[in-house]
Structure 1
Amino acid sequence: MVFPVVFRVTQFCLLAQIILAPLLLGGERPWAMGILSVLTGIGILALCAKMPICLPRYLRVIWLMAGLVAGWMIIQSLPIWPVQAAPFNADHIALYPTAWHSTAADILWFIATVTLASLLARKDPHSFIKQVCITTACAAALQVGLAALDQINGWNTTFWFAKTAHIGDWTGSLANRNAFAALMVLGMIASLYCFGGRQQVRLGKVLDQKGGWLALAMIFAFALLQSHSRSGFVIALCSLSVFAVMQMRDNPAWHRILIPIGVFMFGIVFVAWAAPEFTTRFIELARHDLIQRDDAWASAVHAIIARPMTGFGPGSIALVIDHFATTGLNTNAHWFSSHNVWLDGAIVLGLPVMVVLLTMGGYAGFKTWHGLKLRPLKALFCASISIAVLSGSVDWVITLPALILPMGLVWVGCIEAAGGHHHEVSAQTHVAAQSGAPDQASQR
């Protein structure tokens, strides 16, 4: 049949991006975005040619919000505003009137990819989520292999150019240790989701059938330590705690407090024992001459206060932070981000738009969480949300396609699973698959 072939091709075009994006320096470069966009376009055109397309309500809302953001960026760039005060002497709000082109293209790619994922996940969202997790683990494993190869041969390379920063840190082909660490955290959560099953199944049976996923999660944890990323380490502890808490059933409330504390304490002791140089990096947080993020955040807040309603438009963060820099900020560095996605959004779009986006996102997240029935899905959804929130609060790397794409696909699958756009038999099939095949002895 033609349609199954088209479905497989479309599925490949979507899932291949999870592996390709980290290989393409995180997918942020324009040429990398072009490759990813071509794959998304092929997938959407293939599906549109073979099946009627009916977008669910949540996708229509997402497209509406994306259109409003793009429209606001266009309005920022129009010469219809009063002349701004020095040093921004112009009759438009956007400091770079043409910068909205690339930003709008990035938004269009992400929303189109989410749409493609929704069309694929509608029939069986549980199977779709499992495929996304497997592909994410494969992408993380490939990056571990590249980083280990670089370490063994002493190349000090990103596989695209020679390293000029993060010397001695595992970065794979992402060229950034925090991005590499975030991908390792995603790989750990994805592997643990594939490893998990029903509580009625004996642990020995689960280890026998799916122990490889647990081993893979341990490898990702080791690679995370080799990246020497402080933020990645903290994000891993928090997201693993959330994942563990959400997996528990009918346990006393104090267990929900004890387990996260135990995970944190074990992680701290393990790192201090296994990687003393990693502990040294945490000690360096006390050195104000090395740590600049607090000054970058303060500078961003000053910029937001100066223009809270309208923002400064896309591409303006470096110039704005340099202009509103605090006395302790190193202005010789190129601050293309405040290392806080939420502050960056307020600088670019203004506070009202950011408040609307965050409110809509929070409402959608709560509604999805409330609609999920299976605890493994709830755990995966909440863990991915915690990764996005924490990473966005301390860095900008979460906006890389290599990181936002797998999380976005998981969220789409969870929304489809929570919204009932599929038959209930798919959930039962997923639970049976998670529990593993029955023992031969039980069949006799």
Structure 2
Amino acid sequence: MTALRTDRTSSWEATHRAATAPVPVHPLEYACWLLLALGAIMGGLSFFSWRDGALALLALPVLLLALWPWPPQRPDRALRHRTAAALMLAALPLIYLLPLPLELAAHLPGRTVRLQAAIEELGPAAWTTVSLAADDTWQAWLKLVPGLALFLAALRLPDTRQRRLLGAILAIVMLQALWGLAQVSGDTDSSLLFYGAADDHRASGSFANRNHFASLLLLGLPLLAVLSAGGGWDWRQAPQAGWRLMGATGLLLVTTALLASRSRAAAGLLVLEAGLFCLWLLRRRGLSPRLLGGGLALGLAAGLYFAAYLVPGGLELDSADGRLGVLQRSLTAALAFFPLGAGPGTFGSVFPGFDTLATLDKVYINHAHNDLLELLFELGMVGAALYAGALGLLAAALWRHVVRRGGDAVEWACVLGLCAVAAHGAVDYPLRVPLVAMVTLTFLGVVLRPAATPPPRRNGVDARAASAKAWPWPTQAGPGPRSAP
């Protein structure tokens, strides 16, 4: 019995040493860090520019490394399926670039009147694309490439490397917060303002729009809350004072910068994130789901009560070009192209055709300020299905983490950040901005990464711990030795 206990102890110690050994940095990590750093500087504009083309070009090494069959193990079936699905969805904008004869394209929904002039000038035998603005669709695809590369990298990276990637994102979030606070304390002609100054001092970081700056901060806040409350990434280990101090400091810094952005929606979502995180902490201690649901409903009711003073001002009900007016016209335009859509990225160039006498030559509308309506406008039925599928994934993740208490703290923080961005997308367009889209898709890759299948034991030592330094699938160490009966 003593020999058996000694053998078990020595096996577990060998497993623990192998699993906790430092994991070397892989080239894919370096490529992801570089892409995120460049995105933090060049990825703050929703309009297409040379910056988006440069980011798409720089994302190609990340994409190739994420798809490369690294030894010693091949990706499992679940990972291959997720990768294939992501690549097929990413190819969707390219389908709208397929050529069609003008005579055939004119019979597609919403295109009869718009293509009539081209038919009269070029003849029905001339060719055009399915998209009503081929250049815009191509640009939309280029803006998608960096986020796709980071999503596939997050799917492929193991736990340790994934945590380091999230740490790089947190560093960007805190630096952006410092940048925004420096803008508030500086002059309106400061060189810290990349895209000009607003009428009053507002924090915007490297973004052209303060609301998109706030979206990035909302993504990082739950991860900082995890570090502050848990003292580290893994709550199964003893908390560390250094992690807690860094998390609390970052939480205070980012919250201050978010409020300095003066974004109405972000202020409300900050309260919602704080409430959900507190409820999750209580749930981890065994609180009843019914009591949690009642607390959440009470918090939402209080938020809606106070939001009643802020929402009408944001919707600009007295203006034909206000948010509510744009939403109504966007729905009408989307139904004109249903079920095919006008093409990815075409909203800014096609939507002005739906101007009325009350809105003509007033304000240039480049986005619908609502993700569902813009997807419905550009992709038709497919866009609505994609939006519903994304909400379904978030709902399933919320159920798994809050009600069933599955997953870990880092995954929950990513889910909470994704929910905040999805809610912000109901009144804005954060995912049309490269940096926010890159961070969002990285978080989505963390949430959707399939769990690695534990390999068989060899010579009394867990093989998954023996391959802790291997690429690409090290897993967590097993439990400690059980006491002999």
Q: Distance in 1 between matches of 2:70 and 2:476?
A: 28
Q: Larger relative contact order (C-alpha < 8 A, sep ≥ 6)?
A: 2
Q: Are the aligned partners of 1:391 and 1:397 in contact in 2 as well (CA < 8 Å)?
A: yes
Indicate whether 1:56 and 2:80 are aligned: yes
Instruction: Find the partner of 2:90 among 47, 66, 76.
Output: 66
Q: Which residue of 1 aligns with 2:230?
A: 197
Q: Deviations over 1:180-222 (max 9, x none)?
A: 11112122112112233299989x9666751321221121111
Aligned residues, how many?
A: 413
SS at match of 2:340: coil
> How far apart, CA to CA, are the structure 2 residues paired with 1:260 and 1:195?
26
Q: State the partner residue of 1:86.
A: 113
Matched with 1:337 is: 367
The one-letter code matched in structure 1 to 2:113 is A
Structure 1 CA distance for aligned equivalents of residues 414 and 314 of structure 2: 31
Query: How far is 1:224 from its partner?
Result: 0.9
1:405-424 alignment runs, 5 A limit: 405-416=438-449, 418-420=450-452
Amino acid across the alignment from 2:153 = L
1:410 offset after TM fit, Å? 1.9
CA distance in 2, matches of 1:76, 1:346: 22
Residue number among 228, 251, 258 corresponding to 2:295 in the alignment: 258
| Structure with the higher fraction of residues in helix conformation | 1
- CA change 1:280–1:227 in 2 (3 A) is farther
Confirm or deny: 8 A CA contact 2:94 2:138 kept in the other structure: no
1:25 touches 1:175 (CA, 8 Å); kept in 2?
A: no
Q: Which residue identity is paired with 1:60?
A: A
TM-score by length of 2: 0.72
The answer as to 2:276 corresponding to 1:242 is: yes
Give ranges in structure 1 of 5+ residues lacking alignment: 272-278, 433-444
**SS in structure 1 of the partner of residue 133 of structure 2:** coil
Distance 2:302 2:165 in 1: 31
Q: CA deviation at 1:359?
A: 4.3
CA contact (8 A) 1:95 1:312 kept: yes
Q: Residue 160 of structure 1: CA displacement?
A: 6.1
Deviation (angstroms), 1:319: 4.2
Instruction: State the match for 1:439 in structure 2.
Output: none
Residue 44 of structure 2: aligned partner = 26
Contact persistence 1:132–1:410 (CA under 8 A) = no
Residue-by-residue CA offset, 1:343-364 (whole Å, 9 max, x unaligned): 11111111x2113323443455
Q: The residue matched to 1:419 in structure 2 has which SS?
A: coil
| Contact 1:338–1:344 (Cα < 8 Å) also in 2 | yes
1:284 aligns with 2:318: no
Give the corresponding residue for 2:11.
none
- Structure index of larger Rg: 2
- Aligned residue for 2:186? 153
Per-residue deviation, residues 199-249 of structure 1 (Å, max 9, x unmatched): 9989x9666751321221121111111110011112222233333333422
Pairing of 1:126-165 with structure 2 (within 5 A): 127-157=160-190, 159=192, 161=194, 163-165=196-198
Q: Does 1:354 align with 2:391?
A: no
- 1:371-404: CA deviations, max 9, x gaps? 7733424522431231231121111123322112
Aligned twin of 1:440 = none
Are positions 1:98 and 2:121 aligned together? no
Percent of residue pairs identical: 15
Q: Which residue of 2 aligns with 1:437?
A: none
Q: 2:267 aligns with which of 233, 246, 250?
A: 233
- 1:216 and 2:250 are equivalent in the alignment: yes
1:117 to 149, 154, 174: 154
Q: Quickly say closer, same or farther: Cα 1:361–1:152, change in 2 above 3 A.
A: closer
Q: Which runs of 5+ in 2 are unaligned?
A: 1-21, 120-127, 456-463, 466-473, 481-485
Give me the whole-angstrom Cα distance separating, in 2, the residues matched to 1:264 and 1:313: 39
For residues 99 and 183 of structure 1, do their structure 2 counterparts lie closer, same or farther at Cα, with a shift above 3 Å needed? closer
Distance 1:33 1:411 in 2: 21
CA deviation map 1:316-346 (0-9, x unaligned): 3234433324676475211110111221111
TM-score, normalisation: structure 1: 0.78
Query: What is the root-mean-square deviation of aligned Cα atoms in Å?
Result: 4.0
Equivalence for 2:29: 11
- Relative distance call for 1:294 and 1:359 in structure 2 (3 A) is closer
